[in-house]
């Protein structure tokens, strides 16, 4: 997995973090700025909470405002931005700040003019932050209110409308009005202070000793003509009841009865937690204060009298400040993204609840269990495993499991026996590869319902196809509750029980799990067991498994890839935990570490991605390469646990690269589509025939030729199901199907006795089976090759794709191979695939009898001036092909004739060709010979 969109994602979640902070980091003059009058905005950088703001401290220049204006309460604060504010990584001169000293900065502007907001639109808020010119240092995002030009009163301190405070603490209150007035301060209806003919009231109140009590504070401003008010509320921090967790309860939702559930939240170092939801109008209240366990690590609450079978939305409000969904929820509601879902994605979706804010979790008692049709599915053996990797979004137009289920017949015809789904657990947004997970127990609703997913897995098992989930437990995105709950400015906090503050390795995206923490260990165990038990999946592919380490390698890829004993121990533990739940589940790692580490883990039982994309793309283009690491034996592993592949979601597409960058000589060009497709067949033959499990990336079997960078690396890719209507692409599909059938039905393709001869452009693979031997030879060159065949032994061989029987008396006898031609021989006659899947017909070996060393063949005159006669004098009767190529391999003359008598004489006309060296190739039946011709001027 590689994702290159971190910056935009960070901006998104930092926007979610911002609150209206007027009077804290930011103050304004006047206190109630309006849209059409100048306002002076002052930043006190020492009060900034984002750790990146440290890079702005002590500066005397190079500080700029990055800002926007919003015209609605519900909309964003950066709806309108000043002209030219487009390049984050460069200074924005109109936003240049004036230093005041002591890390204070100031700017004066007229909002409507500065942001270019039309006169007919109101401005209700401004979004603000400071950054340096390069964008490497910044404050958090801050939102301030913009007011109508009217008599106004408001609290300058505190700045939030609701918050929690410590018992018996002092709370500083400052209120201001836009003109002189009588200012009156009240708490719970009782007057605390009164000032007349003033624009500011300051007061220090005591919060009191009563735990959990909510208080409302109001300021009234009165003139001769009107009274205006503002208010905030606070609650004194409660003292949770300490009580042991009920027996049998685990983190998350525990369904006890049709109307009862127990919620459990693991939250060490937190002081108190409320459950808020539809049952209490999303307000913290005494009855929903969670109990704390004696060790202080968990909070739990029993919810009774729940409506049976009805979905209920809820959150946890932690320390009165952070509202998060349940980390173990099996379904979420997302106010920002669910509105884009349709009935094709998720029919009957529960509406987002009024009064809630942010992502909420859903519980539902008395759910009907899915009735599995297939309960005795037998997983394919590892050495016969052919995995089809796909992204639901980019595979079917409806982007849902129902259509994917209807497409299973396509996979059956192809013959694959496993499907690997790119990440389907809830991720940020609806458009993603899925490597930005947020909720690990909830399937993302963008692809369909939980029932639809189970039905797809069930139907796949009925079709004999295993389902493997790509899981992302190396990292999580910001909305994962355990990222949000322990957060420090722009990164996980130092006391986060799950995450490292900084990733210990290169290529980290989002936030890095600490796999040596007890919390993470328990979480991973729960996640894997859940999907095995609840969804009957057959195993997992773990993304960036090399990142499961606490050995800090910084940016040193070599150090990161070196043998890591602690990482080995981590993976053996995870493997053992998975196998304790399901003794045959597949455990696949995207590792790419030192072979000594991979060997130890492979021999322990794990499977590994074996990436041969680069080598096969080069071979497809006509450049020599050696994809030997597709073989587990070349890695000196005991078991066939290397999953070889030409393409995965992470690699450039084979056909795209060959068509764009392939080599050309004479009339033969790998950039020609038909030629490139034939070279894809050649690559598939070698990739699939090497013993060990294999993987195909979606549509590789049809020659998908859109770049991985189309619409951006992780962007939507065009669907090309119409490829099935193209005869050349259909033949590639059928070749894949024929090769997969051999791999999954013929024991020889799983033999441990095999040899690779991959050094030269003509490559060979020999499989020594118990009942049948296999010999594969192919020409990756862009020119004809006549080479020693090197059959494993003499005897009868059968060419699989033509059914041709070949008696081999001399295993070294030369074989003639056209560019891209491959031949797959077996010592047993097998059912022949559909005819003409490959562009070559009979196997052509160098002459043994009639045409040995050119016997009976004469071409004269030689040299010649353009007129040549070919004479063939021997006992052969039958078709004869005459072909002349120039020195580059370009065919300049070709003719097919029939020899019916002892002597054949056939004139050749080369008058229109340039003087130089040519090659006459004569093919008779299964034999071929080549003779030089020289054309010279008369």
Q: What is the pLDDT of residues 735-778, one digit of tens each?
A: 999 999 999 999 999 999 999 999 999 999 999 999 999 999 99
Q: Is the pLDDT of residue 849 over 50?
A: no
What's the CATH superfamily of 609-826? Golgi alpha-mannosidase II (2.60.40.1180)
Burial of 518 (0-12, 13-18, 19+ CB in 10 A): exposed
pLDDT band of residue 16 (cuts 50, 70, 90) is: very low
Instruction: Please state, in angstroms and rounded to a whole number, the distance separating the CA atoms of residues 598 and 605.
Output: 11
Contacts of 254 (CB under 8 A, 6+ apart): 248, 261, 262, 263, 264
Task: Note the pLDDT tens digit of each residue in 913-922.
Answer: 889 888 898 8
Closest CA to 400 of 448, 363, 434, 367: 448
| 558 membership: H or E segment, kind and range | helix 557-561
How far apart, in Å, are the Cα atoms of 827 and each of 61, 129, 750, 774, 807? 80, 74, 16, 7, 11
Fold annotation for 857-935: Immunoglobulin-like (2.60.40)
Tokens of 329: 């929820």
Residue located via tokens 């301060």 = 185
Model confidence band, residue 1 (pLDDT cutoffs 50, 70, 90): very low
Q: Is domain 382-605 annotated with CATH 3.20.20.80?
A: yes
User: How confident is the prediction for the chain on average, in pLDDT?
Assistant: 93
**Residues whose CB is less than 8 angstroms from the CB of residue 554 and which lie 6 or more positions away in sequence, other chains included:** 506
What is the location of CATH 2.60.40.10 in the chain?
Answer: 153-236, 252-363
Q: Is the pLDDT of residue 852 over 50?
A: no
Percent of the chain with pLDDT over 70: 96
- Ranges in the chain annotated CATH 2.60.40.1180: 609-826
Phi, psi for residue 568 in degrees, rounded to 5: -60, -45
The pLDDT score that the predictor gives to residue 865 is 86
CA distance 420 to 417: 10
Extended beta strands in 188-297, E state? 190-206, 214-222, 227-236, 252-257, 260-266, 273-277, 291-292
Distance CA 879, CA 842 (A): 13
Per DSSP, what are the bridge partners of residue 906? 870
How far apart (Å, rounded) are the C-alpha atoms in residues 237 and 601? 50
Q: The whole model's pTM is what?
A: 0.84
Longest dimension (CA), the chain: 128
**Reported confidence tier of residue 848, pLDDT bands at 50, 70, 90:** low
Residues facing 153 on adjacent strands: 177
What percent of the chain stands above pLDDT 90? 85
> What does the pLDDT read at residue 887?
73
CATH of domain 26-145: 2.60.40
**pLDDT band (50, 70, 90) for residue 9:** very low
Fold annotation for 252-363: Immunoglobulin-like (2.60.40)
Q: pLDDT tens, 86-98?
A: 999 999 999 999 9
Could you give the CA distance from residue 138 to residue 131 in angstroms, rounded to a whole number? 4
Residue 689 has pLDDT above 80, yes or no: yes
Cβ pair 848, 927 in contact under 8 A: yes
Give ∠ CA 734-661-678 in degrees, rounded to 5: 20
User: pLDDT at position 36, please?
Assistant: 96
Residue 927 has pLDDT above 80, yes or no: no
Q: Domain 153-236 belongs to what topology?
A: Immunoglobulin-like (2.60.40)
In this structure, the strands spanning 805-808 and 754-757 are unpaired
Q: CATH 3.20.20.80 spans which residues of the chain?
A: 382-605
Structure tokens at 732: 């590639």
pLDDT of residue 857: 87
At 245-298, the pLDDT tens digits run: 999 999 999 999 999 999 999 999 999 999 999 999 999 999 999 999 999 999
User: Which stretch of DSSP H or E encloses residue 262?
Assistant: strand 260-266
Q: How many helices (H) and strands (E) does the chain have?
A: 14, 54
pLDDT for res 713: 95
> Residue 854: what pLDDT?
54
């Amino acid at each position: 997995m590689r994702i290159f969109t971190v910056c935009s994602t960070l901006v998104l979640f930092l926007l979610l973090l911002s609150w209206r902070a007027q009077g804290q980091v930011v103050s304004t003059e006047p206190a109630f700025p309006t849209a059409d009058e100048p306002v002076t905005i002052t930043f006190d950088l020492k009060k900034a909470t984002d750790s990146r703001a440290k890079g702005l401290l002590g500066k005397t220049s190079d500080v700029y405002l990055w800002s926007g204006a919003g015209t609605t309460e519900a909309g964003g604060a950066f709806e309108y931005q000043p002209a030219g504010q487009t390049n984050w990584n460069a200074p924005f001169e109109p936003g240049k700040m004036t230093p005041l000293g002591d890390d204070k900065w100031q700017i004066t502007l007229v909002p409507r003019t500065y942001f270019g907001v039309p006169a007919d639109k109101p401005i209700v808020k401004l979004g603000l932050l400071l950054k340096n010119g390069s964008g490497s240092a910044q404050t958090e995002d801050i939102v301030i209110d913009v007011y109508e030009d009217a008599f106004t009163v408001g609290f300058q301190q505190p700045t939030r409308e609701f918050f929690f405070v410590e018992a018996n603490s002092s709370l500083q209150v400052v209120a201001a009005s836009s003109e002189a007035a009588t200012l009156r301060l009240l708490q719970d209806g009782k007057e605390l202070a009164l000032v007349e003919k003033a624009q500011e009231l300051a007061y220090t109140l005591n919060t009191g000793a009563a735990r959990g009590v909510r208080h409302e504070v109001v300021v009234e401003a009165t003139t001769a003509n009107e009274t205006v008010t503002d208010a905030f509320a606070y609650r004194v921090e409660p003292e949770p009841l300490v009580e042991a967790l009920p027996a049998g309860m685990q983190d998350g939702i525990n369904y006890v009865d049709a109307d009862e559930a127990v919620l459990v939240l693991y939250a060490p170092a937190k002081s108190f937690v409320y459950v808020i939801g539809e049952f209490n109008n999303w307000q913290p209240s005494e009855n929903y204060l969670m109990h704390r366990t004696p060790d202080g690590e968990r909070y739990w609450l029993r919810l009774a009298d729940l409506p049976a079978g009805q979905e209920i939305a809820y959150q946890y409000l932690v320390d009165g400040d952070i509202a998060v969904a349940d980390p173990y929820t099996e379904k979420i509601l997302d106010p920002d993204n669910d509105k884009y879902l349709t009935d094709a994605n998720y029919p009957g979706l529960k509406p987002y609840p009024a009064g809630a804010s942010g992502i909420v979790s859903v519980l539902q008692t008395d759910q009907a269990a899915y009735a599995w049709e297939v309960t005795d599915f037998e997983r394919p053996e590892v050495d016969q495993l052919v995995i089809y990797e796909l992204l639901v979004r980019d595979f079917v137009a409806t982007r849902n499991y129902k259509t994917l289920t209807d497409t299973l017949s396509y996979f059956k015809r192809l013959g694959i026996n496993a499907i690997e789904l790119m990440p389907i657990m809830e991720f940020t947004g609806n458009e993603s590869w899925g490597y930005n997970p947020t909720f690990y127990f909830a399937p993302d609703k963008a692809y369909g319902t939980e029932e639809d997913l189970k039905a797809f897995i069930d139907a796949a098992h009925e079709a004999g196809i295993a389902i493997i989930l790509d899981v992302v437990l190396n990292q999580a995105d910001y909305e994962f509750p355990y990222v949000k709950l322990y957060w420090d400015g722009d990164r996980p906090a130092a006391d986060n029980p799950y995450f490292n503050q900084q990733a210990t390795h290169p290529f980290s995206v989002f936030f890095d799990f600490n796999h040596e923490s007890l919390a993470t260990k328990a979480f991973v165990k729960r996640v894997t067991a859940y999907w095995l038990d609840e969804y009957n999946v057959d195993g997992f592919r773990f993304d960036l498994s090399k990142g499961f380490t606490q050995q800090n390698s910084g940016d040193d890829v070599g150090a990161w890839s070196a043998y890591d004993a602690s990482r080995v121990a981590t993976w053996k533990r995870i493997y053992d935990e998975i196998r304790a739940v399901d003794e045959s589940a597949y455990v696949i790692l995207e590792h790419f570490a030192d072979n000594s580490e991979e060997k130890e883990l492979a021999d322990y039982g794990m499977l590994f991605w074996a990436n041969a994309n680069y080598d096969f793309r080069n071979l497809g283009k006509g450049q020599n390469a050696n994809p030997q690491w597709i073989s587990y034996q070349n890695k000196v592993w005991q078991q066939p646990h290397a999953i070889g592949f030409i393409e995965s979601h992470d690699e450039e597409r084979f056909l795209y690269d060959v068509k764009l960058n392939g080599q050309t000589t004479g009339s033969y060009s790998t950039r020609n589509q038909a030629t490139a497709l034939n070279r894809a067949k050649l690559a598939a033959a070698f990739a699939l025939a090497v013993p060990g499990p294999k993987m195909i990336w979606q549509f590789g079997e049809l020659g998908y030729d859109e770049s991985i960078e189309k619409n951006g690396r992780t962007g939507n890719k065009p669907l090309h199901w119409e490829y099935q209507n193209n005869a050349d692409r259909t033949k590639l599909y059928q070749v894949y199907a024929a090769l997969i059938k051999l791999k999954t039905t013929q024991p020889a393709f799983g033999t441990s006795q095999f040899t690779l001869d991959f050094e030269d452009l003509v490559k060979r693979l020999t499989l020594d089976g118990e009942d049948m031997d296999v010999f594969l030879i192919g020409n990756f060159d862009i020119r004809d090759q006549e080479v020693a065949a090197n059959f494993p032994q003499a005897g009868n061989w059968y060419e699989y794709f033509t059914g041709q029987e070949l008696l081999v008396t001399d295993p070294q006898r030369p074989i003639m191979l056209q560019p891209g031609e491959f031949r797959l021989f077996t010592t047993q006659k097998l059912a022949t695939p559909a005819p003409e899947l490959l562009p070559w017909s009979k196997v052509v070996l160098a002459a043994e009898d009639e045409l040995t060393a050119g016997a009976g063949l004469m071409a004269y005159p030689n040299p010649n001036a353009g007129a040549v006669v070919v004479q063939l004098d021997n006992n052969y009767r039958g078709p004869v092909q005459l072909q002349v190529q120039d020195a580059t391999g370009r065919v300049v003359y070709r003719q097919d004739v029939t020899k019916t008598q002892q002597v054949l004489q056939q004139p050749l006309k080369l008058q229109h060709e340039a003087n130089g060296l040519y090659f006459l190739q004569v093919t008779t039946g299964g034999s071929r010979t080549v003779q030089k011709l020289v054309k010279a001027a008369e």
